[in-house]
Amino acid sequence: MLRVVVESASGLPKKKLGSPDPIASVVFKGETKKTRSVNSEINPVWKETLEFDLKGSPLDSSSFIDVLVKDFETLGKDKFIGSAKVYLKDLASGQVKSLPSKNLALVNDSGQNIGATIDLIIGYEPPANSPPNPNDQPDAGVVGNAGMCYCSDPYVRIRIIEGRQLPGNNIKPVVKIQVCGETHRTRIKRGNNPFFDEMFFYNVHMLPSDLFDQHVSIRVSTSHSAHCVIRKWLLLNDPDDSSSGAKGYLKVSMFIVGTGDDPPVEKREQDADNDDVESNLLLPAGVALRWVLLQLKVYRGEDIPQMDDSISQSLKEAFGGESNKKNLVDPFVEAWFAGKKFPSMCERIKLTVFDWDRLTKNDAIGTTYLNLNSIASSGGAVEGETGETEVGFLPAFGPSFINLYGSPREFTSFIDPYEDLNYGKASVILIG
C-alpha cells in the first residue's frame, strides 16, 4: 500500500480576478487520485490521505509519483497551475518507511519554478509476500524464537484529530508530540475546540521489543510566538485581597521586540460597542469571574409612532372597510448586553424597538439604555428595612415603563436623515 498525505501548498499565483480554487492530484503508474478543492486560497490546506493499492507488487527503484496542482473549474477543464515529481527509490530500497517531502517546488509546463511549494508525506507498506530487499542487512545475533531476523525498522504513525474544551480565553493551541527523541508540532489553531487532523510519521531504529518500552509524549500549549499582548483588557484588583472583586479595567498593548524587529501592527476598533471584552480579558492570579443569570421580560409598549404608509388603510376605508391604525406599525424589541460574567465590563443594557417590514429591512423606531446600577448594587449603597447596609444584588427592576428616544415622531415615506438617532448614536428626543 502506498499512501500519500497531501498536506498543504503555499505561494500559489493569483488569477487575474481573485484567487484560485486549488485542487491537488497524485498520479502513480497511470492511476490518479484527487483531493477536494479549496475555495479562493493561495495557501491551501488539504490534509488528505490518498491511497494506492499495489495489488501485491512491491515498489521498484524507478517508481515515482507526479503531483499536480490545478485551479478547479465547476464548468470546463481544470486549469493547470504547477506540478512536481517525487522519486520513490528510498522507499523501494527499504531504507525508510515514510518519505516526508517538505517545500517541494512546483514548476510549470516548461519546467520553470513558479515560486510555489507543496508539502507531502509518502508512506509505503510492502506486500506481505514480497521477497526481502537485498539492501536490508539483518543485525547479527538478533534472531527470534523461530530463527527469523528483523530485516526492517518499525515506524510510528500518530494522527492528531481535534481538541475539546481547552481552558483559557482567546487561545492559540498547538500540539507537540515527542517519540523516541524526535519531535513534531501541529499548526497553530485558534479557539478552545481546535480541529487539527494532522498525521505524523516517526522512523525508529530499534527492535519492536525495545520500542514497546518507549513512551509517547503529547503536550498541548498556547502559542506565544509573537511575544505580544495586543489591545487586551486587564482586570484591576487589590493585590492584598484577591476576593475583593474588580476595581476597574484597563486596556493595554505590550510588546517584546528584538533589535531591528518591527512591532506588530495594531488594528484599532471602529465601533467600541462591538468590542468583545470578555474574550480579551486577562485575569490576575487568584481572581475569577462568576456566572450570573440575567432575565429580561418585555411586557407592553404604548404610544408607538406610525412607521408604515397609510395608503392601504385609506383604500380600505374608502370601500367601507374598518380602519385599524395599529396595522401601521409592527413593533418588536431587540436587547443587547455584552456581559456574561460578573463583574461585567458592560455597564448598561441596550433596548431597541424595531418595526418589522415584509419587503425591506426592519426600521429602528427608538432606543433606550438601562444601566446596571438600576438593577444591581455591589454593596454599600443599598439600605434595607433594618437600616443596615445590605450587600449584593437588588432583587429586581420594574415592571416599569422606559422612555424610547430617536428621531422626530412625524411619519414620512422619504429617507429619514436622522436615522442614527433611532439607534442611540447621538443626542435624541423622546419617542414613546
pLDDT tens readout for residues 17-55: 888 999 999 999 889 999 998 888 999 999 888 988 888
Q: Give yes or no for a cis peptide into 138 (omega within 30° of 0).
A: no
Task: From 48, 52, 209, select the one nearest 119 (Cα to Cα).
Answer: 48
User: Distance between CA 338 and CA 369 in Å, rounded?
Assistant: 13
CATH no. for 1-137+147-152: 2.60.40.150
CB 179 within 8 A of CB 203: no
Give yes or no for residue 145 having a pLDDT over 50. Answer: no
Most trustworthy range by pLDDT among 233-247, 271-285, 307-321? 233-247
The pLDDT confidence band at residue 246, using thresholds 50, 70 and 90, is confident
Percent of the chain with pLDDT over 70: 71
Average pLDDT score over residue span 395-421:
75
pLDDT of residue 68: 93
Give yes or no for residue 186 having a pLDDT over 80. Answer: yes
User: Per CATH, which fold does 153-225 belong to?
Assistant: Immunoglobulin-like (2.60.40)
Give residue-wise pLDDT tens across range 67-108: 999 999 887 888 999 999 988 888 887 777 778 888 888 998
Task: From 401, 402, 376, select the one nearest 390 (Cα to Cα).
Answer: 376
pLDDT of residue 310: 60
pLDDT of residue 348: 81
CB 264 within 8 A of CB 283: no
Give yes or no for residue 235 having a pLDDT over 90. Answer: no
Q: Do domains 1-137+147-152 and 153-225 have the same CATH topology?
A: yes
Give yes or no for residue 197 having a pLDDT over 70. Answer: yes
CB 383 within 8 A of CB 389: yes
Percent of the chain with pLDDT over 90: 9
User: Distance between CA 6 and CA 120 in Å, rounded?
Assistant: 5
pLDDT of residue 179: 86
Q: Name every residue whose Cβ is closer than 8 Å to that of residue 30 and which is 6 or more positions away in sequence.
A: none
Averaged confidence pLDDT in the chain: 76
Q: Give yes or no for a cis peptide into 167 (omega within 30° of 0).
A: no
Q: Which residue has the higher pLDDT, 13 or 422?
A: 13
Q: Which residue has the higher pLDDT, 12 or 412?
A: 12
Give yes or no for residue 209 having a pLDDT over 90. Answer: no
Which of 12-21, 40-49, 200-209 is least confident?
200-209
The pLDDT confidence band at residue 182, using thresholds 50, 70 and 90, is confident
CB 52 within 8 A of CB 68: no
Q: Which residue has the higher pLDDT, 42 or 271?
A: 42
Most trustworthy range by pLDDT among 9-23, 125-139, 250-264? 9-23
User: Distance between CA 237 and CA 160 in Å, rounded?
Assistant: 40
Residue written as cell 455591589? 378
CA 150 → CA 146, 208, 209, 210, distances in Å? 12, 9, 11, 13
pLDDT of residue 151: 43
pLDDT of residue 225: 55
DSSP label at residue 399: S
Q: What number of other Cβ atoms are within 10 A of residue 391's Cβ?
A: 11
Q: Name every residue whose Cβ is closer than 8 Å to that of residue 160 and which is 6 or more positions away in sequence.
A: 175, 177, 186, 196, 197, 198, 199, 200, 218
Torsion of CA 277, 195, 24, 21, to 10 degrees: -30
pLDDT of residue 345: 62
Residue written as cell 484560485? 20
User: Distance between CA 354 and CA 360 in Å, rounded?
Assistant: 13
pLDDT of residue 344: 65
Supply the DSSP string of 197-260, one letter for each residue.
EEEEEEE--S-HHHHTT--EEEEEEE--TT-EEEEEEEE--BTTBGGG----EEEEEEE---TT
Which of 63-67, 133-137, 225-229, 336-340 is least confident?
133-137
Average pLDDT score over residue span 104-131:
84
pLDDT of residue 381: 45
Average pLDDT score over residue span 124-132:
70
The pLDDT confidence band at residue 394, using thresholds 50, 70 and 90, is low
Q: Which residue has the higher pLDDT, 287 or 309?
A: 287
Q: Count of H helices and E strands in the chain?
A: 4, 25
In sign, the C-alpha dihedral spanning 44, 45, 51, 52 is positive
3-class state of residue 354 by DSSP: strand
Domain range summary for the chain, segments of one domain joined by + = 1-137+147-152, 153-225, 230-288, 311-430
Give yes or no for residue 389 having a pLDDT over 50. Answer: no
pLDDT of residue 383: 47
